Structure 1
């Protein structure tokens, strides 16, 4: 296992999917990895894997934010429906692909997902509804354009424009998270959405 990892670390840019699977296997099964290495080599290997994982996650998050701004939040064009009456938006860049698909309108459910070299890596499911009058979808998209790097799932913790207010609360991190967003108009809630997601293995 140690030889495999060290042999492939320099090739991270050539086969992202294989590298990320290797990192997950090693970090999620440290006992098995430790049994094959000395304590010093094991600590060095885990530190190296963490650095590589952080580097790859940073690139993924940068791509995810860019993809969100190019698709639904940025009023991007829809692609062919993957299911009957579904709304689908896709963005690709090098080995990365982002896919957002949802059903419905005032009451909706959908999924966003990331692929690395044609292999699914991360996903988020969401379900929401309009709960009152004066909901403005353009305000929602405006809030979603401000997706934060630290929590790149929906919009910022708080965003305001005139009489509209957007709030988003999240528990967890990129690996495993849950959250809720709401929009209020003049202090009265008019929209809510729940979401959750994480890494895929």
Structure 2
């Protein structure tokens, strides 16, 4: 495997909405903590777990923006662990992110986050372009739009993109249930009201 050339960041550096790396206190994490407190997360998992979930959410958002969402396949390592797969890696402080998937028109994959060398969180996903779409340019335009939507993801829901995202005739919709502890969701892209892409995902903390 080629050496990981991804920059290493100390602390809780994340990529904000302005796509610039910031260090130090993160207002997004404070928003996440308030929201989880309001929904009873603190009562269930305690202050330490809430802080760990905040760190995990911030790292996930950074990792996704530093890999497929921000760089497409340019972030793929030269020699993936699994032959025929695409593998995207990112590291920051104690955390490491790995996304491995197979396919393009229809694809399946898994994201894993490790902390201090131990896997702590994972998400599986599968989906792709509607079978009736065979034009490569149409396929590429949908995935270009998808990456724009993923870049607009929020730290309070870092699984995929935002709930809604629109650009011209294309519309992205994402529906998720649960928290980082355990969740499942579905995202769709439609053009002029007709669904052209769908992906389903689920995951949570490893225990």
TM-score range normalised by the length of the shorter chain: 0.7 to 0.9
What does residue 35 of structure 1 align with?
none
What does residue 115 of structure 1 align with?
114
Verify: 1:137 aligned to 2:143, yes or no: yes
What does residue 95 of structure 2 align with?
96
- Cα distance between partner residues in 1 of 2:172 and 2:75: 24
- 1:49-128 maps to which residues of 2 (within 5 A)? 50-75=46-71, 76-79=74-77, 80-128=79-127
TM-score normalised per structure 1: 0.74
What does residue 159 of structure 2 align with?
153
TM-score normalised per structure 2: 0.72
- How far is the alpha carbon of 1:171 from its aligned partner? 1.0
1:144-191 CA-partner distances (Å, limit 9, x unpaired): 111121211011110000000000011111101110000001111100
Output the aligned Cα RMSD: 1.7
- Cα distance between partner residues in 2 of 1:121 and 1:159: 30
What does residue 34 of structure 2 align with?
none
1:62-109 CA-partner distances (Å, limit 9, x unpaired): 111001000000015211211111000000011100111100000100
Aligned-partner SS, 1:181? strand
Moved more, 187-196 or 71-80: 71-80
Q: Aligned pair count?
A: 156
- Cα distance between partner residues in 2 of 1:110 and 1:102: 4
1:119-149 CA-partner distances (Å, limit 9, x unpaired): 0000000000200543421100000111121
Runs of 4+ aligned structure 1 residues displaced above 2 Å come to 132-135
Q: Equivalent of 2:201, from 175, 195, 198?
A: 195
Runs of 5+ unmatched residues, structure 1: 1-12, 14-45
Q: Equivalent of 2:172, from 158, 161, 166?
A: 166
